[in-house]
Structure 1
């Protein structure tokens, strides 16, 4: 056996797996599950027609693992197309060893948050909510979120961390880690738009309630009972329809929803019962400071004001959130 292996030393690093086999990360999971593999876009008529045909042949609630071509345009068109067919997305093209992680045990680390939240006594302040983006991205839990989680300033300021309730099946060990190491200021919430990435207005009305009912158990088991919802049609953010609001109310029964990624913030009560807070996205500390300063300038100070800021996870860190919070005056309450 001595000559079966060759040992070499050199000054060049060996090629990475990505260089050897681009986009091979999900291959083991596809093989293990005997899944159909295809790569089709939505911008080429011939490809879109075949894409439509494939999607029409699978049951409602089927997951689509992987991603799309053409960056954000491909994302918006692709997620909308799949939503039209009652199919949700798990962005997993960079997820390593999913076959192994899906076989780990869910230990249920840490207490689950209570569904019944005691309403605090409000003051005439500007209440600021911070929410990290990318919870629609399944592999984000394995990569960028873990880096952010290791920030030494995590836990100093209350932050919503969008994640995927499907970690319960797909990567229990990761879910165990986040739950067991979360501080009182770390709140895991369901990324867009609940049990998977989809646009609810684009989802057929006749299948949405059943899908939400089926996936509601994942939100409860993971403690991610507050959904962050993205809702796009024809590449545009759109308001939630009455039927969608009712479907969320009846099946997820959330205390409230976080909605969209806009250039403005706001709060409204839909159907007279469901609080919905629109998120205004920021990518720097300076963005947040400007938005909050403008909010203060327009505020009369006679009643509470609620501002939801979305933190672009690729740009910002918990340290940035602490820096932003420390720059605020006593009239702000994070």
Structure 2
């Protein structure tokens, strides 16, 4: 009753998980809150937000590297790093990536929660200033905050209006953070079409927190509009470098050109590991940013 009485598309700050068997847990909590149109902003363990929010940044700008010309004999892949929607991860964990020896040596997609521009603006500004033209930030996970698109707003009669409000809010925060890609956490084709229709500035949708069961390459790339491709994740987590190489090769087979969303579980991979993945895959595989992957996929259709 409390959740139903509160306005829709407002944040829930903190986190739903407090130990095995305690409360609703992460998935149950995100789904419960999202059903009432509430958006989880993961911020447990993040101190001094009242101080951080004293900084005001209206908008940020990404550097953009030109897209390489399409080589029809290549496999193009984009690494999409997970869990940047977690403010504590941004504050305490991601800096080690940006300070590593491998940083900037190959293109990367970095998931970030766009609302961080209001909550920890100076921290996000640090990332934008340090990023190279081959580092692209995209909205993680699902948009302005953590929701499951398929069940978002399902406690209301007009659940589509609730989702539309979420997507409109996401669009505004993507404008402020100069992001042009988003990773929805699951969702049906109709939900992906809603993203593409409601956020016309999107270059692509890099869907899913890890590879869905039964997902094949032929099902991983599709077009909700003529200009916006959906790239479903073709890798999962917990399999290490060799496992990731095996998943990528197994997914594309002999298809050329091919376009692959390589989901990277941040808790299990360092940049040195991803560099090894590229080395083991060989020269036929080319890393690009998410938006570059979209442009190359569009070029392959002309």
- TM-score when scaled to structure 2? 0.81
Report the alpha carbon displacement of residue 317 of structure 1 after superposing the two structures with TM.
Answer: 1.1
Within the alignment, does 1:145 sit opposite 2:94 as a pair? Answer: yes
Structure 1 residues 61 and 128, CA gap change in structure 2 (3 angstroms): same
Match of 2:259? 306
**1:184 aligned onto 2:137:** no
Alignment of 1:25-174 (within 5 A): 53-69=1-17, 70=19, 74-106=25-57, 110-111=61-62, 113=64, 120-174=69-123
Question: Runs of 4+ in structure 1 displaced over 6 angstroms?
Answer: none
In structure 2, do the counterparts of structure 1 residues 246 and 292 end up closer, same or farther at CA, with 3 Å as the change threshold?
A: closer
Alignment-derived partner of residue 290 in structure 1: 246
Aligned CA RMSD, in angstroms, stands at 2.3
Alignment size in residue pairs: 269
Q: State yes or no: 1:256 paired with 2:204.
A: yes
TM-score using structure 1 length: 0.74
Tell me how far apart the structure 1 counterparts of residues 246 and 62 of structure 2 sit (CA, whole Å): 37
Q: What is the aligned partner in structure 2 of residue 224 from structure 1? A: 179
- Picking from 275, 282, 291, the partner of 2:229 is 275
Q: Rg: which structure is higher? A: 1
Partner of 1:196: 145
Structure 1 position 255, deviation (Å): 1.5
Distance 1:71 1:137 in 2: 20
Aligned partner of 1:32 in structure 2 is none
Contact 2:206 2:231 in 1 (8 A): yes
Distance in 1 (CA, whole Å) between partners of 2:41 and 2:126 is 20
Identify if the C-alpha distance between structure 1 residues 81 and 107 changes in structure 2 by more than 3 Å, giving closer, same or farther: closer
Q: 1:218 to 1:71 in 2, by over 3 A?
A: farther
